[in-house]
Amino acid sequence: MKPIAFFVFFFPVVAGAVTTSFTYPSLYLGFGVYNPALMKETMDEDKGEPALFTRSHYPIQVRTFFQMTEMFYISPYVSFTHLYPQETPDKGAEINYTLVGLPIVYPINDRFHFDFGLGLQAKNVEGRGGTYELPNGNTKSTSARPGRSMTSYNFYLQQGLALNFGNLNAAVDLYVHQPFSEDRRTFSLLFTMTYLLFGGNSTSGEVSE
């Protein structure tokens, strides 16, 4: 599902849902839709054309919430796509992302909370080796595919908005990668839906089983 379609379908449903209080300390588990290139002209990996969004990736997310002060929480999380990796268009390599973040969370009210903070992204490209053919005029040339693994890292700033309803938490986060480099700055977007496995209620102190 394209991220924009996910947004259009998902948030009207969430906006009308019955919500509960923000919970702490708590553990959430869920899934997401991650688009690693946003708000700049990029190439659609399948069509080879300029596009706003590139191919989406589908991470699993594990997230916790801990109260720091009366008004603020800290929410470490890890998101990873290794259970559902994407292939490059020529199927010669496998791409995975891992996102590790440590945002500060401010509850706006019992329904919504805002988060902001720092994170680290790791992008792993695992080459499968072998060869592939490329058109070369009226003939074809054979080239070798890389057979090794390459991992790149970059830091990002994040800000996002989340909505709690029942034991579910729906969130959208904007990541700014390499924020202080004008030439290398990029943006990405992550939608997540996570389920509360356990936690305490921020207003009543009750514990969810």
| pLDDT tens string 86-139 | 877 667 788 899 999 999 999 998 889 999 999 999 999 887 665 656 666 666
Class (C level, CATH) for 3-92+100-119+157-199: mainly beta
pLDDT band at 141 (very low <50, low <70, confident <90, very high): low
| pLDDT tens string 51-95 | 555 678 999 999 999 988 888 999 999 999 999 888 776 677 888
Residue 8 DSSP SS3 = helix
Report phi then psi at 185, rounded to 5. -65, 130
Q: How far apart are CA 42 and CA 48, in angstroms?
A: 10
Whether 202 has a pLDDT exceeding 80, the answer reads no
Residue 129 DSSP SS3 = coil
In the chain, what are the domain boundaries?
Answer: 3-92+100-119+157-199
For strands 73-74 and 93-107, give the pairing. antiparallel
Helix (H) or strand (E) holding 64: strand 60-67
Mean per-residue pLDDT of the chain: 76
- Cβ contacts of 101 within 8 Å, gap of 6 or more: 75, 76, 77, 78, 117, 118, 119, 120, 158
pTM value? 0.72
- Cβ contacts of 56 within 8 Å, gap of 6 or more: 1, 2, 3, 33, 34, 35
Using a pLDDT cut of 70, give the percent of the chain over it. 65
Predicted pLDDT of residue 170? 94
